[in-house]
Amino acid sequence: MFNTKKIILSRKIILMGILLVFLLILTACGNNGEEMPQAKENAFLMDTLVQMRAHGENAEIAVEESMERIREIEKLMSKTIETSDIYKLNNNSKTEIEIDNESIIVLEKALKYAKLTDGDFDPTIGALVELWGIGTEDAAVPEQAEIETALANTGYNHLDLADNSAEITKEGVKIDLGGIVKGYAAEEVKKIVQKYNIEHAFVNLGGNVLVIGDKVDGSPWKIGIQDPRQGRGNVMAVVDAVDLTIVTSGNYERYFEENGKLYHHILDPKTGYPADNNLLSVSIISENSFDADALSTAIYVMGLEKGMKFIENMENVYAMFITEELDVYLSSGLKEIVTIKDSDFNIIEGEEIAN
């Protein structure tokens, strides 16, 4: 169960169809009615819109330092910035490359979840991502032979890590940290916020939402889960949260249609195609964005039954699945903290299917 002292139960800016909506009712006054300094900033970083807001005596410097920290991480781990560690690895296969310790940390976590999920999350999916081109002007369904070639160049066993270096051991394999690096950045922002003793803050990295503390009036932050059938701003569920992260992966965050069929960006590393498992979205709710980021992708790829079993065996990690039939399956402990706002959705306690 959740620690109710940290999470009071019951917005996401949507870019390119991102699923999570952050609903904010903000005030500049604290519990005692006194004015509280606040700072906010929006920036396009990590190929998405990043929002941050903080309240407190050190709010301005905390926000400035946090946004700069995200820029630093992007420069290290972007697959398109030529000076980044990931670009160097992807373009120098079969060569041991010295990389920053931070890149090692993220790659180690990515390999951890690749192993835990038996490859349902895989940081070496770059060849498939480039082939499909979803989210770009070149998006199209590849030929089967092309998919098979990209699949042959996918596999976390082709990535070797050492204390301060990494190596892609097979030519053609490429790393893509899009499914985990925003979570790492969110946790780094949390450290900065805590360093400056900020008790009320949120950061939204393109759908990876982290709230620190409660709102300045003492009420919980409200995090809305978007109705996956509709456009931005349409919420089907709300979670009231303190010190919580929510990361959602869905089948129309980024997608294209060809011959009447929708192809979304969450690729199954084992088939080479977008995951096809009757799910509209999966939301991971936990206290750590680094883990939740990887898990949201992996659990979506797993599908409902396998994904629910996986989550039920984890501590302090929870999941909400929305199926094409508009059934909402909640892992143990979530029913009492998630409020469904649309009667079209049917809420189901999901631990039964995990047994």
Q: CA nearest 43: which of 189, 176, 203?
A: 203
Give the residue carrying structure tokens 């096809």. 276
133 and 104 in one domain?
yes
Angle, alpha carbons 295-328-244 (nearest 5°)? 45
Give the residue carrying structure tokens 């094409």. 324
Is 173 among the domain residues? no
Candidate ranges 67-76, 204-213, 227-236; pick with highest mean pLDDT: 67-76
Is 259 among the domain residues? yes
89's CB contacts (< 8 A; 6+ apart) are: 97, 99, 166, 167, 168, 175
Q: Which of 114, 137, 168 is the last residue of a domain?
A: 168
Mean pLDDT of 242-269: 90
Q: What's the one-letter identity of residue 312?
A: E
211 and 262 in one domain?
yes
Do 209 and 101 touch, CB atoms closer than 8 A? no
86 and 36 in one domain?
no
Measured distance CA(216)–CA(122) in Å, rounded: 39
Is 9 among the domain residues? no
Q: What is the mean pLDDT of the chain?
A: 89
pLDDT category, 21, cuts 50, 70, 90? very low
% of the chain with per-residue pLDDT over 90: 76
Do 285 and 246 touch, CB atoms closer than 8 A? yes
191 and 164 in one domain?
no
Is 14 among the domain residues? no
| Domain limits for position 104 | 80-168
Q: Which of 168, 203, 228 is the last residue of a domain?
A: 168
The least confident of 26-35, 61-70, 117-126, 333-342 is: 26-35
Give the residue carrying structure tokens 């790659």. 107
Check residue 252 and give its pLDDT: 66
114 and 26 in one domain?
no
Q: Which of 168, 199, 219 is the last residue of a domain?
A: 168
Q: CA nearest 242: which of 217, 216, 220, 218?
A: 220
pLDDT category, 239, cuts 50, 70, 90? confident
Tens of pLDDT, residues 24-39? 333 345 555 567 899 9
CATH of the domain at 326: 3.10.520.10
110 and 39 in one domain?
no
pLDDT category, 2, cuts 50, 70, 90? low
> Which residues define the annotated binding site for Mg(2+)?
179, 293, 297
> Which residues define the annotated binding site?
179, 293, 297
Is 13 among the domain residues? no
139 and 160 in one domain?
yes
103 and 29 in one domain?
no
Is 256 among the domain residues? yes
Mean pLDDT of 313-336: 93
Give the residue carrying structure tokens 């169960």. 1
Domain count, the chain: 2
CATH of the domain at 151: 1.10.3980.10
pLDDT of 60 over the 90 cut: yes
Q: What's the one-letter identity of residue 104?
A: I
128 and 256 in one domain?
no
Is 313 among the domain residues? yes
Q: CA nearest 181: which of 289, 94, 60?
A: 289
